[in-house]
A and B are shown apart, each in its own frame.
Chain A
Amino acid sequence: MSTDPDRSIETLIRLAGEREMPSDEATARARAAAEGSWRSMLHQPRPRRLRVPLAIAATLALALAVPGWYALNQREATQAPVVVARVVAVDGIARMASGRALGLARPDSEVMSGDTLQTGEGRAAATIGDALSLRLDHDTRLRFQGPDRVTLLQGSLYVDSGGLGLGPPLTISTPAGDVRHIGTQFQVRVVAGTTAIRVREGRVALRRGEAIAHTVAAGDALEVRGSEERWQHGLPSFGAEWEWSATLAPALTIEDRPMAEFLAWMAREHGWQLHFSDESLQRRAQEIHLHGSVEGLDAPGMLTRVALVTGVPLTLDAGVLWVGAR
């Protein structure tokens, strides 16, 4: 038995072996999330308060008790969570991790800065400023840093800016970098260290630091895993890859709305092209007003009902919605 204390320490450390490390995938994910939080903090306005070097602060604590209390309250006031988004739809169960609480996410509930919206078996949708639609697929966790920044911790996120560019510019932090949209529809997926971006309409920029690393255009998909990148081009804007997001689309009230508006909404939500059999029907679609409801119906059900009500044939074929006789 050794009595040499240094040898004892060496023996102890050898006995324990290397300390356990988190997985590379989790580390990449955590780094992206932490960097997003760091940048968000840097962009927050600095609280107005006395700036005292840390080492001196403790010594002066008593003398500065009253102004210190005031400064603390000022700081907390500037850092108080703010409403950044609103949950608009939940399909199944979704949860919100908010401060110390983990509760159920419900339609119409507010999302505060710092909150994380998470789906398991369910899906959920939120809006930012009533302009940007954010839809979360199964097994997704999305952290809201502010109205202009979210971090996709895991899973699939679909973003629709409504095509009008009215919403605030949104940055999505991912392990591969920051994804910024330019008036578009796209989805980002983070699974096991791989970040995949697929654009349905418009363009998105993938930024690393201050530089744009890639621009992904409509029909393109980019997968990034560490230093590996894989591109796909000419992908369809419709199909199973996208269809989940339509299940979370805000409900359309069709009562007394023009048929043309319904058709445009369907085409946008499902990534279809609209094809009218003739120009006169295209003009007439503006004048035909719908009645009733399509609530609770799936896409084929909606088309069937509107075709019955209006007497205008509607046929879907390979991503094209044919209006009128083919």
Chain B
Amino acid sequence: MNIPDGELVEGLLRGDRRAFEQFFNEYYPKLYRFVKRRMPRDAAAAEDIAQGTLCRALESLRSYRGEAALFTWLCTLCRREMSARWDESRAWSMAPRLVEDDPAIRAALESLLAREHSDPLQAADREQVRASILAALDYLPSPYGDILEWKYLRDMSMGEIARRLGRSPKAVESLLTRARDAFREAFCLLSGGQAAGELP
């Protein structure tokens, strides 16, 4: 069962082990990929920075006020962590400039964590498309990214997904619809505004 951000934070502040497990399992891989997209050649640094971000976040959890989605707040801490560790390093100065780092795109993506909808598109080449898809999946509100992967990559049935999430199959169908809409919007933003039906 997925716990919403507010409840997750309250659970962590209460010392609830289940909340810690969800927090770690969901956000450590997302933060890792967040850094890795910016430092594609340095997996060890990405692991390290993601770990440092989680530690700092947990130590200062009482300062999280719920005004932004939890992942947005974590990304802010993660950017600081990257900046602190890599300001003077070649790895950071050679980091690629990502579409998702554009302030306007970032604001739009962050708004996705609170709501969803929209239109798909196309991209310039397969690697760029792939990077945009993977980034979009991470920006989706939880558990949309997982549901889309389970459904389309692992061919899990609605019943299997429902059991995994502890929800009814009908609720999962509705979640899947919302997940597709959210994905469409995120992908649209990241790939420059073309239709998902017109793949290269």
Interface residues of A (CB under 8 A from B): 1-23, 26-27, 29-31, 33-38, 40-42, 46-47, 54-55, 57-58, 75-76, 79, 97, 99-102, 114, 116, 143, 145, 151, 153
With contacts A9-B120, A9-B148, A41-B59 known, is A22 near B54, CB below 8 A? no
With contacts A54-B9, A79-B60 known, is A9 near B84, CB below 8 A? no
| Contact A100–B80 (Cβ < 8 Å) | yes
Residues of B within 8 A of A116 (CB): 52
* A78 nearest in chain B by CB position: B62
Is the CB of B28 closer than 8 A to any CB of chain A?
Answer: yes
| Contact B62–A41 (Cβ < 8 Å) | yes
* A20 nearest in chain B by CB position: B33
A26 vs B58: C-alpha distance when bound (angstroms): 18
* B119 nearest in chain A by CB position: A5
Residues of A within 8 A of B120 (CB): 5, 8-9, 12
User: How many pairs of A and B residues are in contact by the CB < 8 Å rule?
Assistant: 164
24 A-B residue pairs with CB within 8 Å: A1-B198, A1-B199, A3-B197, A5-B184, A5-B197, A12-B129, A12-B187, A15-B133, A18-B153, A23-B43, A30-B47, A30-B54, A34-B24, A35-B24, A36-B55, A37-B59, A41-B58, A54-B6, A57-B67, A97-B84, A97-B85, A100-B83, A143-B55, A153-B51
A43 vs B83: C-alpha distance when bound (angstroms): 29
Is the CB of B117 closer than 8 A to any CB of chain A?
Answer: no
With contacts A4-B197, A19-B29, A38-B12 known, is A33 near B83, CB below 8 A? no
| Contact B66–A55 (Cβ < 8 Å) | yes
Is the CB of B71 closer than 8 A to any CB of chain A?
Answer: no
* A9 nearest in chain B by CB position: B180
Interface residues of B (CB under 8 A from A): 6, 9-10, 12-13, 15, 20, 24, 28-29, 32-33, 36, 43-44, 46-48, 50-52, 54-56, 58-63, 65-67, 80, 83-85, 87-88, 120, 126, 129-130, 133-134, 137-138, 145, 148-149, 152-153, 180, 183-184, 187, 195-199
A143 vs B81: C-alpha distance when bound (angstroms): 14
- Which residue of A11, A17, A99 contacts B84 across the interface (Cβ within 8 Å)? A99
Residues of B within 8 A of A75 (CB): 62-63
Q: Could you tell me the distance in whole angstroms from the C-beta of B200 to the nearest C-beta in chain A? A: 10
A145 vs B52: C-alpha distance when bound (angstroms): 12
Q: Could you tell me the distance in whole angstroms from the C-beta of A277 to the nearest C-beta in chain B? A: 54
Q: Could you tell me the distance in whole angstroms from the C-beta of B173 to the nearest C-beta in chain A? A: 12
| Contact A16–B199 (Cβ < 8 Å) | no
With contacts A38-B20, A54-B9, A153-B51 known, is A8 near B133, CB below 8 A? no
A58 vs B67: C-alpha distance when bound (angstroms): 7
Q: Could you tell me the distance in whole angstroms from the C-beta of A139 to the nearest C-beta in chain B? A: 12
